[in-house]
Structure 1
C-alpha cells in the first residue's frame, strides 16, 4: 500500500510538472521601439494585439534607441521569465532586434540563469520558481524579419539620427564586429529578406527593403557587407536559400538559414502598425509553426 501511495504521489508530481510547462512566442522589436518597456502585452510596435502571432505571444519591448549592450538586460529579463525551467520559447525579431538577440545569445546564452515563474511584475521581471538555475535559455528557434545583425549602410552614411547610440551600433563594421555571429548556442536563426526597396535606398548594396540589404537580412558572414540579389538580377550575386553558400562562394553565419527571399520584390521593411511588410510574412510563418 505504501508503495502504491508513493507511486501515485510521483504520478501527481509529473502531471503537475507537465501542466505547468508552456510555450511562449516572444517578439523582439527593432529601432524606434514603441511599446512600454516591461509590459509584455503591449504590441504597439507591431500592430493590433488581437492579431494571431504564435502561442502565448509576448512583446519584448526595449527602447529601440539606446545601445544594444545597455538594453540587452530588458531582453534577458524576458528570456529568464518565459524561457527557463519547463517553459520553452519561440523568438521573433525585427531589424535591430536581430542584432539584439544575436548579441544576447552570444554573450549571455552560456551563463547560469535562475529559473523563473513566468509571472512578471510591473517592471517585466519574474520571480524565482524553485531557486535552481540552468545554463542559458530554452529556445526552439529564432525567426528574423529583415535582420540587421550585419548592420545597415543607412547608419554608415548618417541617414538616421546619428546621435542615437543604436545607430552607431548599426554601422556595418560595428555590428559585424560586436560579437561572434556564429555563436548562437545551437539555436537556428531563420532569415526573412524583403526586397521592396526605393530609389533613395540606392545607398544599400544589392537587393534591400528600404532599410537593410540582403547581406544582413540573409545572414551573410564576413567583416563587411556585400552586394546580393534575387536570381532575376544579373548584376550581383544571388542570395541563396537555406544554408548553402551564396553565388560567388560567400558563406552564411553558422546556424543561419534563409527561409524567405523576396523574389517578387513585394515586401518592405516596415510593420506600419499593422503587422505589415516583411513582418507580415514572418507572422504568417509563426502562426503555423509556433504552437
Structure 2
C-alpha cells in the first residue's frame, strides 16, 4: 500500500473537570479509497475512520471511545461533491455541512436537507463536519439521519469486497450503530429530487439554540392532482436510540385528502409507534413524547401547506 507513514500521537492523560485528554493513537493518512479500506481491514476494531472529526474528537477527549488508530479521510479523492446523477442528487460523504448549506443545487433539489443543515450545531461545526460523518456516527439527536429516512435516501459504501448501496431504512441499527462493517466506508448519498406539489419541513426543540434536539421531526409530503397524500415520509430524532421512521402515521395519511388530515393526529400516531422514549435529566419520556407529537404536527402542517402552495 502506498500511503503516508503513520505518526504516533503521544498525549499524556490529564484531567480537566469532566474532560480527559485522548489516549495515544497512530494517525494514518491514506491517499486512495482502496488504501483507506485496506487499513481498516488490517487494523480491525482498533481503527476508526475520521473525516471532519466533529463527533469523533469530543468522544475521544471524553474517553467515550478509544482507538489505537485513526484513518484520516481528508486526502482521499472522490468523497466530496454535489452532482445530479440519473435524476437524483448525489452528495459525496466527505462534503462539508457548510457546503451543503450554501449550495443552490441542494436547496432547489432537496429542500429538506438544506433546511435541516443550519440546525446542526453552529457554523464552526458545519465548516468541518461532513454529511457522511454525521450519518455514519448515527447520533440519535442528529438531523441528517432523520432527513435520510424521510426522503428514502440511498447510502453508497465501499469495502475490500466492493461497493454496495444501503437504503436509509436499513442503515441505522441502534445507538451510534449502523450497518457499516468495520472495513467499510460510506462514500456517497443519493437523494430523490423534489417533484411537483411537494412540501418539506423540519421542526425540533432544544433547550438552547445550537444544543442537541430533545425531540424533532423531518417531514416530506407529495400530493397528487386531487390534493391527496401520494407519498409522505416522517423521520424522528431525539426520541430513541437512533433516528426512526413513523410508518403507521405515514400509512394512515397516505391516500387521504390533505386538507382533512389533522396534523395533531399525525403527531400522536407517530409517537404511539415508539416502543420506548428516552428519559434523562433533560426531560422525562412523557415530556419528550408530548414535545415530539407537537414537532411532528408542526412539520406536517408546514410541509402540507408548501405542497398545496399556500
Under a length normalisation based on structure 2, what TM-score does the superposition of the two structures give? 0.29
Could you say which structure has the higher helix fraction? 2
Structure possessing the higher relative contact order (Cα contacts under 8 Å, 6 or more residues apart) = 1
